[in-house]
């Protein structure tokens, strides 16, 4: 993309309403614009990152064998009356009547809809296991929306639902989700620690939240520092292998890691003192096995191999897709702006032309731009007739991980500059080598 | 995908509520499930086609230089009061109040939101031309939703908005949209004829609808049969070239082609009698230049090169993304089921194992399956332990363009069967050759 033809409305001023750094930078970098309280328009740069995150979530869910589909945002109140949640949900559920006076609502989650789809079609244990999911807009009418996309009212969420014959099978689905979530976050450059969570009114021991450590997190977290040494890395996981998924679960959840909701001081004190950490975290996902709660209420049964009708064991598993943009920025920025991890960056590499209109500089930039595109990457070429200082400030603010700077003086010596946004380090090299280096970095992800 | 692990709830019975063939087949092929009147859940197969269509629309819009972003589905009533449409829109606009009693609505279209984004950031003619678009869920509370996704209440739509300094520039944007839409439909295997449309209360000569000919279309259309001989084909279009885009516009719109809303009998009678056609059509898109209607009302101005503040010239341009699934099926089916054009098929090729459990047949299927995946295609392998007749019926119903049939008898002679869904023709050949042939077909698209 040539910046002269893009729509990137960066702001010089820090918007007064933004209390946390991710919100400030998303506004300043022209990623979002508030439309109403807790409701945002996704400007082109923000939309691009949102799609990248959505794609990673899709890829990792499908790798785990989960099947994508899509529920409508507006749902009839009837299904929610069956589960008892229509009256129970409270004011966070946005309700409305259609022109015929029928009660509707904007889906805040979708246990009922998925359970209904399941019971409409699946009759036999032979069709299990089954995990269906969607990535769809949801609405929760937060009384006090804040922190930009981190606690908005209209938000983009992945929600998945497993349907299994037995508790044992459902716990394998639970573990499979944990593994797929770990992969998902790692691909985004995030360390998200699974922490024992509170299962709320439904109860049960099987729920974990995934927390990204950040000073601005809404949750207080308590953990054994050894938990931050673990990562999934490039392990080849067979998602059908029950023992293998269980081993990952055990490895990631046996050390102490709790939010304030489940924290037990006495247990925490068993962690060696030098490894005890108290910090803040941002919740970016949750997995939850809840058994037959919904299948009982809504009659989601299958016939088992004995010919009996039995309710299916279910769980629901969510990732806050739009919230992740905020979480990533909270975890990766400096005082100049965002520092995108390579897995989610909106453009792979910036190209700055220090002297637009200079024949050699223009030609070198065009050639770099074409080379990167030919290699399947998306460069952002700042071809505007602006001062170099302004171009650098914009590039730093929007946070592309790599930048190639092209100027007449360097070109006389046959070199351009390749700069890492993260370290700030610059290395001079011939243009072809800079392009090759960037291609190599992304190929290795 | 292995069918044994997929969720494809095909129906044997024809659902009574479905009046037209696309609705019937979408229900029977397990693509959609009605959630409420005019509101559908997109089951995995339907979701897959929806995403393919969405991707084609994105690619062709971006090829034309248009920039994607995303507006929220729920919007504050205030903006719509500025344009005067809040009160004017009527009962098709779904209105609600949030928990603080603020008036909200579910966006039925987004002229106001895009105009607001534009006026918030763009101040100078130097930032023009600019075309922004989104593909997002919309809601129109149709009094009598019908025909499945063809006239639903919650629907997926691409809507784009151009902002230009002059009428002349805006008309180039109009032409650019026409060209990009023609490419879009052709990639989906559709012939969509641009027809002069009614500009409604806003007025003006510049609006065309794109109509797909189908007996079940809601519009009566009148056209010169020569118009169906024109196609864009593989022409290389420079979207910045004003004359080139104008030439395409002229070529596609100079022959008589009108809907009943703009039909003029006397003009139609000037078409040679043997070329006059009266038929029915499905509207799958519309382009519209409306000048400064919204920019005047909402104060969307830029400073021109004389230093004057002038309102921008705008147009809005839409494609009914979810509706397109219905239109494609209406245009391409037979009495056994859907016949997907290769550009939008949910899976590229079906593999039918005639004797699941036979070592040779299983091995040949696995090998074909792997070969197609390795070539970047998505096969659907029917690996269920079912009768051949049932497997064929399912494959025909869901309409994959190509099918490879593998059985022990053929394998003894070293062959499998490659079958075209469209022509029904089958050719025997060695498995490797069948895979190579399928790969070649998709590579040539």
Predicted local distance difference test score (pLDDT) of residue B325: 98
> So what's the pLDDT on residue A16?
84
3-state secondary structure of B125: helix
What are phi and psi for residue B27, nearest 5 degrees?
-70, -50
Partner residue facing B94 (CB), from A7, A76, A96? A96
- Count the Cβ atoms, other than its own, within 10 Å of residue B409: 10
Q: Which residues of B touch A72 (CB under 8 A)?
A: 35-36, 39-41, 137, 154
Closest CA to A118 of A63, A65, A161: A161
In a domain, residue B267? The reply is: yes
Least confident range of B13-22, B258-267, B383-392: B13-22
Residue from B212, B191, B194 nearest B252 by CA: B194
List pLDDT tens digits, range B279-308: 999 999 999 999 999 999 999 999 999 999
Is residue B292 domain-shared with residue B377, that is, in the same domain?
no
Q: Does the CA dihedral B168-B173-B178-B180 come out positive or negative?
A: positive
Per-residue confidence (pLDDT) for residue A14, from 0 to 100: 84
Same domain, A330 and A395: no
Q: How far apart are CA B409 and CA B355, in angstroms?
A: 10
B373 touches chain A (CB under 8 A): no
Residues of B in contact with A15 (CB under 8 A): none
B106 touches chain A (CB under 8 A): yes
Note the pLDDT of residue B14.
84
Q: Do B41 and A143 touch (CB under 8 A)?
A: no
Smallest CA–CA distance from B112 into chain A, residue: A35
How does pLDDT run across B348-405, given as a tens digit for each residue?
999 999 999 999 999 999 999 999 999 999 999 999 999 999 999 999 999 999 999 9
- Work out how many domains chain B is built from and give that number: 2
ipTM above 0.95, yes or no: yes
Q: Cα–Cα distance between A7 and B62 in angstroms, integer? A: 13
Whole-angstrom distance, CA of residue A39 vs CA of residue B106: 12
Query: CB neighbours (10 Å) of residue B416?
Result: 28
Give the model's pLDDT for residue B392.
98
CATH number of the domain encompassing residue B195: 3.30.930.10
Question: Which pLDDT value is given to residue A138?
Answer: 98
Residue at a domain's end among B318, B338, B358 = B338
Same domain, A371 and A293: no
Contact call for A73 and B41, based on CB within 8 A: no
User: Other C-beta atoms within 10 Å of B382: how many?
Assistant: 25
Q: What is the pLDDT of residue A304?
A: 96
The answer to whether the CB atoms of A65 and B154 lie below 8 A apart is: no
A386–B contact, CB cutoff 8 A = no
Write down which residue in B338, B370, B404 finishes a domain: B338
Of A9, A40, A73, the CB nearest to B121: A9
Could you give the CA distance from residue B113 to residue B316 in angstroms, rounded to a whole number? 12
Q: Which of A74, A153, A160 to mutate to test the interface with B (most CBs of B within 10 A)?
A: A74
**Nearest CA distance, A291 vs chain B (angstrom):** 21
Minimal Cα distance from B98: which residue of A? A94
Nearest CB to B71: which of A41, A143, A153? A41
Would you say residue A202 has pLDDT above 70?
no
Burial of B270 (0-12, 13-18, 19+ CB in 10 A): exposed
B309 touches chain A (CB under 8 A): no
Q: Give the strand pairing for A95-97 and A74-76.
A: unpaired
For residue A363, what pLDDT band results from cuts at 50, 70 and 90?
very high
- Residues A233 and A187 grouped into a single domain: yes
Q: Helix, strand, or coil here: A313?
A: strand
Q: What is the pLDDT of residues B19-51, one digit of tens each?
A: 899 999 999 999 999 999 999 999 999 999 999
**pLDDT on residue B16:** 84
Q: What is the rounded distance in angstroms from the CA atom of residue B367 to the CA atom of residue B435?
A: 10
Does residue A370 belong to any structural domain of this protein?
yes
Residue B224 has pLDDT above 70, yes or no: yes
pLDDT, tens digit, 9 for 90 and up, residues A280-305 = 999 999 999 999 999 999 999 999 99
CB atoms within 10 A of CB A87: 10
Number of H helices, E strands in chain A: 14, 23
Q: Which residues of A179-191 are buried (b: 16+ CB within 10 A; e: fewer)?
A: bbbbbbbbbbbbb
Check residue B272 and give its pLDDT: 97
Q: Is residue A344 part of a domain?
A: no
Q: Does A154 touch chain B (CB under 8 A)?
A: yes
Could you identify the residue written with the tokens 């039909």?
Answer: B263
Q: CB distance from B43 to chain A under 8 Å?
A: yes
Judge if B93 and B240 occupy the same domain. Answer: yes
Range of the domain at A354: 349-443
Question: Does A310 lie in the same domain as A371?
Answer: no
Residue B12 sits at the chain A interface (C-beta within 8 Å): no
Q: Note the pLDDT tens digit of each residue in B49-95.
A: 999 999 999 999 999 999 999 999 999 999 999 999 998 889 999 99
The beta-carbon neighbor of A35 closest among B30, B42, B72 is B72
**Burial zone of A88 (CB within 10 Å; 0-12 exposed, 13-18 middle, 19+ buried):** exposed
| Residues B319, B409 share a domain | no
Q: Per this entry, what is the length of chain B?
A: 445
Which residues of chain B neighbour A91 with C-beta distances below 8 Å? 99
Give B157: exposed, middle or buried? Use CB within 10 Å, 0-12, 13-18, 19+: buried
> Are residues A255 and A363 both part of a single domain?
no
| pLDDT tens readout for residues A386-408 | 999 999 999 999 999 999 999 99
């Amino acid at each position: 993309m040539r910046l002269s033809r893009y729509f990137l409305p960066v702001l010089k001023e820090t918007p007064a309403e933004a209390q946390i750094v991710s919100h400030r930078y998303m506004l300043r970098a022209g990623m979002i614009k508030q439309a109403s309280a807790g409701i945002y328009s996704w400007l082109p740069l923000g939309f691009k990152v949102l799609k990248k995150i959505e794609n990673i979530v899709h890829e990792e869910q499908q790798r785990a064998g989960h099947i994508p589909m899509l529920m409508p945002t507006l749902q009839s109140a009837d299904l929610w009356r069956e589960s008892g949640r229509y009256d129970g949900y409270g004011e966070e559920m946005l309700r409305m009547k259609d022109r015929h006076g029928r009660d509707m609502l904007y889906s805040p989650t979708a246990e009922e809809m998925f359970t209904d789809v399941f019971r409409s079609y699946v009759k036999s244990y032979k069709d299990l296991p089954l995990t269906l999911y969607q990535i769809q807009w949801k609405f929760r009418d937060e009384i006090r929306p804040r922190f930009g996309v981190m606690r908005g009212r209209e938000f983009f969420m992945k929600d998945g639902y497993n349907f299994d014959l037995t508790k044992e099978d459902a716990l394998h689905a639970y573990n499979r989700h944990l593994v797929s979530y770990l992969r998902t976050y790692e691909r985004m450059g995030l360390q998200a620690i699974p922490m024992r969570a509170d299962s709320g009114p439904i109860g049960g021991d099987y729920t974990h939240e995934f927390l990204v450590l950040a000073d601005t997190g809404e949750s207080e977290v308590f953990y054994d520092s050894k938990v931050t040494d673990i990562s999934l890395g490039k392990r080849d996981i067979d998602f059908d292998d029950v023992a293998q998924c269980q081993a990952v679960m055990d490895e990631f959840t046996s050390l102490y890691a709790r939010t304030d909701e489940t924290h037990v001081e006495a247990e925490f004190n068993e962690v060696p003192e030098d490894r005890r950490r108290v910090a803040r975290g941002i919740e970016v996902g949750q997995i939850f096995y809840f058994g037959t709660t919904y299948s009982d209420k809504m009659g989601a049964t299958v016939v088992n191999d004995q010919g009996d009708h039995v309710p299916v064991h279910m769980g629901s598993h969510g990732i806050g897709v739009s919230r992740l943009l905020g979480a990533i920025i909270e975890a990766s920025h400096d005082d100049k702006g965002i520092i995108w991890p390579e897995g989610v960056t909106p453009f792979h590499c910036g190209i700055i032309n220090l002297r637009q209109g200079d024949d050699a500089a223009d030609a070198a930039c065009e050639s770099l731009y074409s080379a990167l595109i030919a290699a399947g990457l998306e460069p952002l070429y700042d071809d505007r007739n602006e001062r170099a200082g302004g171009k650098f400030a914009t590039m730093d603010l929007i946070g592309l991980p790599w930048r190639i700077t092209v100027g007449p003086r360097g070109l006389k010596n046959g070199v351009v500059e390749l700069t890492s946004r993260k370290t700030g380090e610059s290395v001079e090299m011939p243009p072809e080598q800079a392009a090759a280096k960037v291609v190599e970095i992304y190929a290795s992800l």
